A = this chain, B = another copy of it.
Amino acid sequence: MPFVNIKLTTGVSTEQKQELIAGVTDLLVRVLNKNPASTHVVIEEIDPENWGIRGESVARLRQRKEPGVSGS
C-alpha cells in the first residue's frame, strides 16, 4: 500500500535512484512490515529553475554559489 513520492532537483544517477528505491522499500518492510510487491516509490526530478527556496530559484542561488543548494 505505501506510496512514496520523492521530489528532488535533477542530477540523480540511475544507480542512486535504484539505491533510493531499494532503501525506501527496505525501510518500509523493516518498520511497518510492508509487502515490497505493493510498495511504490516514485522519484520526480525537478529543474532547479522550478524549485524555490529563500524566495529564489535554486538555479539562481547556485549561479551565485550560495551555500546549501549544491547537488540535487
A→B interface (CB under 8 Å) = 1-9, 12, 14, 16-28, 30-46, 49-58, 60, 68-69, 71-72
Are A41 and B51 closer than 8 Å at their CB atoms? yes
Are A71 and B33 closer than 8 Å at their CB atoms? yes
Expressed in whole angstroms, the Cα–Cα distance for A42 and B52 within the complex equals 6
Write out the residue numbers on chain B whose beta carbons fall within 8 Å of the beta carbon of A6. 2-4
**With A40-B3, A46-B42, A50-B43 in contact, do A18 and B60 touch (Cβ < 8 Å)?**
yes
Shortest Cβ distance from A26 into chain B, in angstroms? 7
Shortest Cβ distance from A33 into chain B, in angstroms? 6
Write out the residue numbers on chain B whose beta carbons fall within 8 Å of the beta carbon of A44. 44, 46, 50
